[in-house]
Amino acid sequence: MNNFVFYNPVKVVFGRGSVNQLGSYAAPLGTKCLLVIGQGSVRKNQTLDRCIGMLESAGIKHSLLENIMPNPRIEKAYEGIRLAKKHNCDFVIALGGGSVIDTAKAIAAGFYYDGDTWDFFTMKSEVKKALPLMTVLTVAATGSEMNSISVMQNDSTKQKIRAQGHPMFPTVSILDPELTKTLPKDYTAYASVDIISHVLEGYLTSEDENTPLQDGFTESIVKSVIEETRKLMSDLSDIEARSTIMWASSLALSGFTTAGIGRFKFENHLIEHSLSAYHDIPHGAGLSIVIPAWMKENRTLLKNKFEKFARNVFGKQSAEDAIISLENFFREINSPTSLSFYKISNLRELTDNIMECAPTRNLNLERGYVERILEKAK
């Protein structure tokens, strides 16, 4: 096992109806918050009104920042910082999925920073201080509610990259599976792909082969997500399945499956982020396109790990079985498995972008390697 530091101080308040505790958990953080939401689903299903009502009952005023899009843009963070400063906000509440939370993190961090908040993403600066952040999760996918990572997109530089820093850990994350019941079928599938990808990147590429504990945790997450997603595909309101997937999504990128596994490569995310940046496709849908192609390209190099994955997750044997089984699962839940699904053909441009973003993930890739993966994903 490798050396590591594990630290995750997020207080998770999980369960059906837990959103009703919003007021009591928010009150200690201040009397004025910036409330960040997405493109209106929380308005439509009344979650926004419920939350505002609870905040008001707890004596908390709010300013609203809305219209955060999937693949969130840094410009919205700038807007949020201006708003939070103008209204002297004490803290930020993210009510939404990963894009909303990531934007809220960038706002919380940018609030105290004199320079350009994008500096945290290009690694020109470190996050030293941030406003307290609370999250109320409505889409279980990115795991942002239980880590200190923010992924933002900059349209002017065509970059979708990440920042990380302890001050961006949410103080409290409310995980109420009831709030995820209205997520449509396609996005429910994409979310599961995302969760699986988060644990697989570490599991499949870590150099350390002596991590039985962590491997077991990952296998348990992947098996559970596959099984529970199948249930959701036939009944989107299966609250037990929503619950397991919600907790799996938070744990998947919380650091506990990777603690001790040493260095690993987040290559599928790197590649997918370029797809999203250019084509604005759902992140999970992009991942189900990239992962099988990436596996095919790495079938020889990572043979042992693929075999272990085939054995312990799918009850099969070979590296090939692992690739086929996972790709079949993506097909089964109607998550796309080829670039043609979105008519994506600008492979050269994508390769340029991937090569350019690679250093922000400490990845040193050969151009030919990236080209071959995109070719296999066609």
CB nearer to a copy of itself: give 15 or 122: 15
Hey, what are 3's tokens?
A: 């050396």
129 touches a copy of itself by CB under 8 A = no
234 touches a copy of itself by CB under 8 A = no
The per-residue b/e assignment along 151-190, b for 16 or more CB within 10 angstroms, e otherwise, is: bbbbeebebbbbbbbebbbbbbbbbbbbbbbebeeebbbb
The residue within the footprint of a copy of itself, chosen from 26, 221, 253, 377 (CB under 8 A), is: 221
314 touches a copy of itself by CB under 8 A = no
244 touches a copy of itself by CB under 8 A = yes
The residue within the footprint of a copy of itself, chosen from 6, 88, 317, 341 (CB under 8 A), is: 6
The per-residue b/e assignment along 322-341, b for 16 or more CB within 10 angstroms, e otherwise, is: bbbbbbebbeebebbbebee
**Quick one: which H or E segment has residue 94?**
strand 91-96
| Long-range CB pairs of 347-353, under 8 A, 24+ apart, other chains included | 347/371, 347/374, 347/375, 347/378, 349/278, 350/274, 350/275, 350/278, 350/374, 353/158, 353/159, 353/274, 353/277, 353/278
Cα distances (Å, whole numbers) of residue 283 to 188, 280, 336: 12, 8, 11
CB nearer to a copy of itself: give 222 or 377: 222
Cα separation, 196 vs 224, whole angstroms: 10
144 touches a copy of itself by CB under 8 A = no
Q: Residue 62: which of 76, 77, 80 has the closest Cα?
A: 80
Stretch that binds a copy of itself, among 30-38, 240-248, 282-290, 333-341 (CB under 8 A): 240-248
Question: How many Cβ atoms sit within 10 Å of the Cβ of residue 9?
Answer: 9
CB of 298 vs a copy of itself, minimal distance in Å? 25
CB of 7 vs a copy of itself, minimal distance in Å? 4
Stretch that binds a copy of itself, among 105-113, 155-163, 219-227, 271-279 (CB under 8 A): 219-227
Stretch that binds a copy of itself, among 12-20, 44-52, 157-165, 182-190 (CB under 8 A): 12-20
The residue within the footprint of a copy of itself, chosen from 56, 227, 332, 356 (CB under 8 A), is: 227
Residue 25 · residue 172 · CB < 8 Å: yes
207 touches a copy of itself by CB under 8 A = no
Rg (the chain; Cα; Å): 20
Q: Which of residues 21-60 bind a copy of itself (CB under 8 A)?
A: none
The residue within the footprint of a copy of itself, chosen from 102, 145, 201, 228 (CB under 8 A), is: 228
The residue within the footprint of a copy of itself, chosen from 45, 154, 164, 220 (CB under 8 A), is: 220
The residue within the footprint of a copy of itself, chosen from 251, 271, 289, 344 (CB under 8 A), is: 251
92 touches a copy of itself by CB under 8 A = no
The residue within the footprint of a copy of itself, chosen from 15, 23, 30, 167 (CB under 8 A), is: 15
Q: Residue 357: which of 160, 83, 146 has the closest Cα?
A: 160
Stretch that binds a copy of itself, among 56-64, 183-191, 256-264, 276-284 (CB under 8 A): 256-264
| 3-state secondary structure at position 350 | helix
CB of 326 vs a copy of itself, minimal distance in Å? 18
3 touches a copy of itself by CB under 8 A = yes
264 touches a copy of itself by CB under 8 A = no
The residue within the footprint of a copy of itself, chosen from 85, 128, 185, 213 (CB under 8 A), is: 213
Cα separation, 201 vs 9, whole angstroms: 24
Cα distances (Å, whole numbers) of residue 266 to 37, 181, 202, 285: 28, 30, 7, 17
Interface residues with a copy of itself (CB under 8 A) are: 1-18, 177, 210-213, 215-217, 219-221, 223-224, 227-228, 240, 243-244, 247-248, 251, 256, 259-260
